[in-house]
Structure 1
Amino acid sequence: MTRRTRRSLLRGLGTVGAGAVGLSAVGGATTRPGPEPVVLVHGYGDTGETPWWDVARGYFRDVGYPDDAIHVLNLGAIPGTTVDSPEEYATAVQAALESVSDEHGSAVDVVAHSMGGLDTRWCVEKLDGAQYVDDLVTLGTPHQGTYAAYLGSLTPGGRDMRPGSEFLTALNDGQLAEGVAYAALWSSADELIVPSRFAALPDPELSSVASARNRNTGLQEHVQLVFDRAVFDQYAPLLD
């Protein structure tokens, strides 16, 4: 984690503290946008127990989500070990979505970071996970791959995230899932998505459904996309 990211994380933790006593960020989202529960999906090498996900939970609480409507998926217990193929993790994502949907009796919103967005897209587009999902927001997901993934070429996940990989070619087949509202958020300063615009949904996927959009968030680092309040305030209204 860079010095800039550590400073941003500390600011985020401070905002959560304010939210806990009912003080939302100035100019930020203040009300829960929709009734669906939310599932948060981490990415490559991460787990649901790293501190930035606690910050994200705090933002959801701040805008009115009760604790039982915030579900953080954990695909592995040890940071650095969650490096398998998104195709493999998609099965676990689907099981979680089905469970949360059954528990709440409703569709589910998903916010997925990094490779977690690929896990979720495979779930909703290649399995039958679309039936459980209302809105899907991805944060810094390499929808078109990332050349930084060559550094992880010894792992299945790293190989699948390389531009032009067999996995991405199969995923980006020109059609997103009908009935799911997609929003791909990407940062111009994302050091792990190279080039950064590869975190945007490609065409013709983007135009295959009416409810898909790309949005540039500004100048956040890769992990910062999870805990930056300004980013949360951009996507929270989309979870309607």
Structure 2
Amino acid sequence: MARKASELACPATARPDRHAYSGCPQLKETLMRHAFTQAARSALALGLFAAGLGLSGAAAAQEPIIFVHGYSGSSSNFDAMLMRFTASGYPRAKLYGFNYSSLTSSDRTSAASLNTFINSVRASNGNQPVSVIAHSNGGLVVRWQRAKLGGQAGMRRFITLGTPHKGTTSAYGCYSPACFDMRPGSSFITQLAGAGCDRSLWSANDGVILPASNAQCGTSVQTASVGHIAMLTDTSVYNQVRAQLP
């Protein structure tokens, strides 16, 4: 992920709070990384990565799976989920993390980069279709790639976790191209017109996607009442992701 945020000065009106989309990018990024680290450590302490849960159906064919992070995140946000996949017997070499510059690039630009990345992954795997798991804003990036760049043909399954499919009012608290894309009624969301969805997981207690129901698109499944970042580390959410893959 580009580190441009550290080069920006916070406005005088910026206030430290727990909002994941605060007006101060570097403060927001620090808080988000801290929240994820704490959640991951808690999961590790409980020994949840050694569950040894198996995969079934088409997912057992061990197709490439690509993970797409959310706003201000990185592929490392999926470390907990990757550990669960490998603990279940999924080859680590088949799990790919895509990084994009969410603090500086529009979702359209990021989708073009994702399209190139997916084509490269497929070329390295006998042109096999991929499945994609995306968190938060990453889901919008994938939807654009699927709906506008022809990506749907090479993607067998697409699962989102807490993605603002219909926008989120919390995006009014940040200022970047991707933030503008996440706002309700944005030209980005309007042009998608509901296209590009597949499976969506959403939490009534998300806290970042406001209203929470805006994370529903395509076939929707409600998760346990966990927070936005906790969706990446919660055991039950992982089990629901796995159940949606076949």
- Which interval holds the TM-score relative to the shorter structure? 0.7 to 0.9
1:102 Cα offset (Å): 1.3
Amino acid in structure 2 at the alignment position of 1:37: P
52-61 or 4-13, larger mean C-alpha shift: 4-13
2:72 to 39, 45, 48: 45
Structure 2 unaligned segments of length 5 or more: list them. 1-30
Amino acid in structure 1 at the alignment position of 2:233: F
* 1:75 match: 100
1:217 to 205, 212, 223: 223
Q: How many residues align?
A: 211
2:156 to 123, 134, 156: 134
Q: Distance in 2 between matches of 1:5 and 1:100?
A: 27
1:30 to 32, 49, 54: 54
1:151 equivalent in alignment to 2:176: no
Structure 1 unaligned segments of length 5 or more: list them. 207-212
| 1:160-171 superposed matches below 5 A | 160-171=181-192
Q: Distance in 2 between matches of 1:200 and 1:88?
A: 24
| 1:1-240 superposed matches below 5 A | 1=31, 8-14=39-45, 19=49, 23-24=50-51, 29-31=53-55, 33-35=59-61, 36-49=63-76, 52-76=77-101, 82-105=103-126, 106-152=128-174, 154-172=175-193, 174-176=194-196, 182-201=198-217, 206=218, 213-240=219-246
Q: Distance in 1 between matches of 2:153 and 2:138?
A: 18
1:189 Cα offset (Å): 0.7
Amino acid in structure 1 at the alignment position of 2:41: L
1:176 Cα offset (Å): 3.9
1:24 Cα offset (Å): 0.9
Alpha-carbon contact 2:159-2:241 (below 8 Å) kept: yes
Deviations 1:170-229 (A, max 9, x none): 012x5447xxxx11001111111010110111xxxx4xxxxxx10110211111111212
TM-score in terms of structure 1 length? 0.81
TM-score in terms of structure 2 length? 0.79
Q: Distance in 1 between matches of 2:36 and 2:115?
A: 31
Amino acid in structure 1 at the alignment position of 2:203: S
Closer, same or farther in 2 for the Cα pair 1:83/1:146, shift >3 Å?
Answer: farther
Deviations 1:139-183 (A, max 9, x none): 00000000000001x2111111110111100012x5447xxxx11
* 2:4 match: none
Q: Distance in 1 between matches of 2:229 and 2:73?
A: 10
5-14 or 186-195, larger mean C-alpha shift: 5-14
* SS of match in other structure, 2:159: strand
* SS of match in other structure, 2:213: helix
Q: Distance in 2 between matches of 1:171 and 1:135?
A: 18
Q: Distance in 1 between matches of 2:35 and 2:68?
A: 24
Q: Give the CA RMSD over aligned residues.
A: 2.2
1:34 Cα offset (Å): 3.0
Closer, same or farther in 2 for the Cα pair 1:18/1:196, shift >3 Å?
Answer: closer
Amino acid in structure 2 at the alignment position of 1:231: V
Q: Distance in 1 between matches of 2:112 and 2:35?
A: 35
* SS of match in other structure, 1:12: helix
Q: Distance in 2 between matches of 1:176 and 1:55?
A: 26
1:47 Cα offset (Å): 1.3
